[in-house]
Structure 1
Amino acid sequence: MNAFTFTTDAKTFTAAVAWTAKHLPTRPHIPVIAGLLISQHDGITTLAAFDYDTSATTTLNTDGSGNGQALVSGRLLAELAKTFPDKPVTVTVDTTARITCGSLKLTLPLMTVEDYPTLPATPPTVGEIDADRFADLITRVGLAADTTGASSIQALRGIHLAFTADTVEALGTDRYRAARGHTDWTGKVDSEVTALVPAAVLIDTAKTLHGAGQATVGCDNHLFSITAGGRTVTSRLMADPFPVQMRTAFGGRGEQPVTMWAADLSAALKRADLVRADKKAAVVLHITGDGLTVTAKGQEIAAETGEHIDCAYFGDPITVRVNPIYLADALHGLASKRAELSISHPHRPINVTSPDDPQLTYQHTVVPIRNLSA
């Protein structure tokens, strides 16, 4: 380690530390990866976190001198930075890390930087895309991915990405629902490149992409990366095979779809969820040419809801039982005022699309509930 120093404003420093520290492991298996790595080389200051699977690096706008690296407790620094006054922050590193901000003076001990693992190199670029558009795609598809670890199938905890020269496609599923979306981008590949990225990493990263301008996506056989707004996240790819047959499992629009205002159905599903007996109980949708009725019953409390919603439907009457949260998530993912539900059979998946999306850039499928009380 060589001595170095840099100065920046408190808001920039606090935001950079908070974003980087958020990627630190909560229960590090070795103490050194609980550290936040501060580096300065040729006038460029960076902060980094790495847990061997995921890395996060952010570049700071600073006025500094000297070159070197230092490792400090990441969570401690993040908590302290929240309390900094709105004054310039100066960090000086030699045998310790000394931080001044106005009248505030702090001294932090250094961890052994030589024991810190080498940060992964960014994989080759596969394309570029507006950061907001990529964030929107991941957020919507992520609604169907297993982010809680409930499934024993590791691959369902990932989002499957497919990159071509013209489009990027994302697919997520937890077996009971699935979402698929695609959008245009500027690809840098000659043939399709696929990657299975941990859903939790992608969704968390998407939350910080809004307003970041252009995003650069990298990928090889082992690593995925996204860089935007001076921040880079890399993630090790998941090895388990993803059920790629899901890419052709979406039925599109049926011959007799049910069309309604998405907000009306979402509100009815929310009320039905509050009433239903438990989280495994179904909510009943009864659909006729006269409208759609949403019904739920409670067992422990004397409550029942039955709500009529206007819709356009010209098929035979049909009744289907659903998990209201799953269907509400599907409607939310549409990001559209109108929704279409294609229901061919009470026990077959419900395909949720928008009549305002003629290219079917987003589809969400929900599996009905069988043999459970409404």
Structure 2
Amino acid sequence: MLITVGDDTATFDAFDQSSQVHTTIPCDTSEPGQVLLPHRTLHDVVAKLPDKPITITHMGSAAQFTCGPRTFELPPMTLDDYPPLPDMPPAVGTIDWSDLAAAIREVGAAAGRDDTLPMLTGIKVDSHDGALTLAATDRFRLAHTTLPWDGDDLDMLIPARDILTLARTTWHGDVTIHHDQRRLGFTLGDTRTILRLIDADFPKWRPLIPKDSDTTIRIDRKTMADAVKFTSVLAGDTGQVVLSITSGQVTIASKTAQDGAGEEVIACDTVGNELNIAFTSRYLLDALAGDGTALMTFTQPGRPAMVWPDLPCEEGKVPDADRGHLLMPVRLPG
């Protein structure tokens, strides 16, 4: 990390092959200067310091940090080894950071983690008709959501790991989005971040969303999530739970020869055919995250199911929704 101290500000810069962060904060300065330090060690030590002001002293052979009763020193790195910082891409629009970060967290859970399939390790972002759409999939589930957007047209694949880390940042207000063919940038006040985009083709996901349903239920998200957590304890290594939908209720169950069996019955609104269908519990829990009521639509035991917001829905159809979670079922036990 490069620390640059001016008359009344301290600037922090760090970047690697995939991302770059730059931020400036006010400080009391006795003498301007610049020091390059190993960021991982610096981060880990500073995280253990008390919530008090930090005094930084550069003594040539070491940078000394004092915070309350604690003091530590780090050997500086050679400034000539630090490459020049890249320029920010052109600005393309602004968006509320809280809304964007929530959307990133919502879809990012569905992104793949297999680096041998780079097209699945990202969040697809594109814009059309005044809407910014985010989507992610790992082949077993797919999440998508939409935000209002009045900026330039966008079409990019963002590394999910990097953008999810950024989404934990507690920024407030509108951020400026920057974009070119290779990079995505964010600016808010004196902080800016640049991420390198993934150069791969994301699957055409929109045709995968079911247009019809044979079975529909409306159920409280927390009630069903608690039932899934309970039964999945007895699901063994597979982590699979079975949903048995009958008139006015759904039974969530699991059974393995080694771990035993468990089930919970929940009353809910049901429309359409009775159905038995199985899912990986972790994926189902991700789709149920949040508060309120979920609308779930199903067709056949071997075909994708959807978890939607609580929206109006005609019998036999799916709602007109700009966000949802697609879940691929697993084979029913036995």
- Category of TM-score, reference length = shorter chain: 0.7 to 0.9
**Quick one: which of 166, 176, 198 aligns to 2:159?**
198
Q: Which one of 88, 99, 121 corresponds to residue 157 of structure 1?
A: 121
Partner residue of 1:294 out of 252, 265, 287: 252
How far does residue 299 in structure 1 lie from its aligned partner after superposition? 1.5
1:267 counterpart = 2:231:
no
Is 1:340 the counterpart of 2:289? The answer is no
Partners in 1 of 2:72 and 2:255 — Cα distance?
59
- Distance verdict in 2 for CA 1:64–1:287, change over 3 Å: same
Partner of 1:361: 322
List aligned pairs for 1:69-80, cutoff 5 A.
69-80=34-45
What is residue 104 of structure 2 aligned with on the other side?
138
- Does the residue aligned with 1:39 lie in a helix, a strand or coil? strand
* Residue identity matched to 1:361: D
Which residue number corresponds to residue 169 of structure 1?
A: 133
Percent identical across equivalent pairs?
31
Say whether the 8 Å CA contact 1:224–1:234 is kept in structure 2.
Answer: yes
Q: For 1:52, what is the secondary structure of its paired residue?
A: coil
For 2:217, the equivalent position in structure 1 comes to: 258
CA shift at 1:320, angstroms?
Answer: 1.1
C-alpha distance in 2, partners of 1:163/1:67? 45
- Please give the per-residue CA displacement for 1:219-275, whole angstroms capped at 9, x wherever unaligned: 1100012233643221111111111x1034223673642111122211111112111
Assess if the C-alpha contact under 8 Å between 1:70 and 1:93 holds in 2. yes
> 2: CA distance between counterparts of 1:98 and 1:71?
13
Q: Could you say what secondary structure the match of 1:111 adopts?
A: coil
User: Counterpart in 2 of 1:7?
Assistant: none
Paired residues of 1:338 and 1:356 also in contact (CA < 8 A)? no
C-alpha distance in 1, partners of 2:283/2:71?
51
Distance 1:40 1:102 in 2: 21
Match of 1:329 among 273, 283, 286: 286
Structure 2 gaps of 5+ residues are 313-318
Q: Does 1:54 align with 2:19?
A: yes
Classify the secondary structure of the residue corresponding to 1:45.
strand
Aligned match of 2:195: 235
TM-score scaled to structure 2, two decimals? Answer: 0.88
| CA distance 1:98–1:271, shift in 2 (3 Å) | closer
SS class of match (2:201) = coil
Structure 1 residues 365 and 106: CA distance shift in structure 2, 3 A: closer
In the alignment, does 2:174 pair up with 1:214?
Answer: yes
Q: What secondary structure is seen at the aligned counterpart in 2 of 1:133?
A: helix
Letter in 1 for 2:223: D
- In the alignment, what sits opposite 1:22? none
Q: Higher mean Cα deviation, 346-355 or 228-237?
A: 228-237
Measured in 2, the distance between the counterparts of 1:83 and 1:258 equals: 48
Question: Post-superposition shift, 1:109?
Answer: 2.6
Residue by residue, what CA displacement relative to the aligned partner does 1:26-75 show, whole Å, maximum 9, x if unpaired?
xxxxxxxxxx1112457542112211221122211123366553201223
Paired letter, 1:235: L
- Counterparts in 2 of 1:284 and 1:80: CA distance versus 1, 3 Å: closer
Question: Whole-Å Cα distance in 1 between the matches of residues 109 and 82 of structure 2?
Answer: 35
C-alpha displacement at 1:110, in angstroms? 1.8
Which secondary structure state, in structure 1, belongs to the residue aligned with residue 120 of structure 2? Answer: helix
Q: Is the 8 A contact 1:252 1:360 kept in 2?
A: no
Q: How does 1:74-89 map to 2 (within 5 A)?
A: 74-82=39-47, 84=49, 87-89=52-54
1:71-111, Cα deviation, whole Å (9 max, x unpaired): 01223333443454555433344634344445766554321
Could you tell me whether the CA contact under 8 Å between 1:275 and 1:304 is conserved in 2?
yes
**For 1:267 and 1:129, how far apart are their aligned partners in 2?**
34
| Aligned-partner residue type, residue 198 of structure 2 | M
8 Å CA contact 2:6–2:29 kept in 1: the answer is no
Query: Residue 272 of structure 1 contacts residue 294 of structure 1 at CA under 8 Å; is this kept in 2?
Result: yes
Letter in 1 for 2:36: L
Contact 1:39–1:70 under 8 Å retained in 2: yes
Taking the aligned partners of 1:112 and 1:153, their CA distance within structure 2 comes to 37
Instruction: Please state which structure has a larger fraction of its residues in helix.
Output: 1
Report if the CA contact (8 A) 1:123-1:220 is conserved.
yes
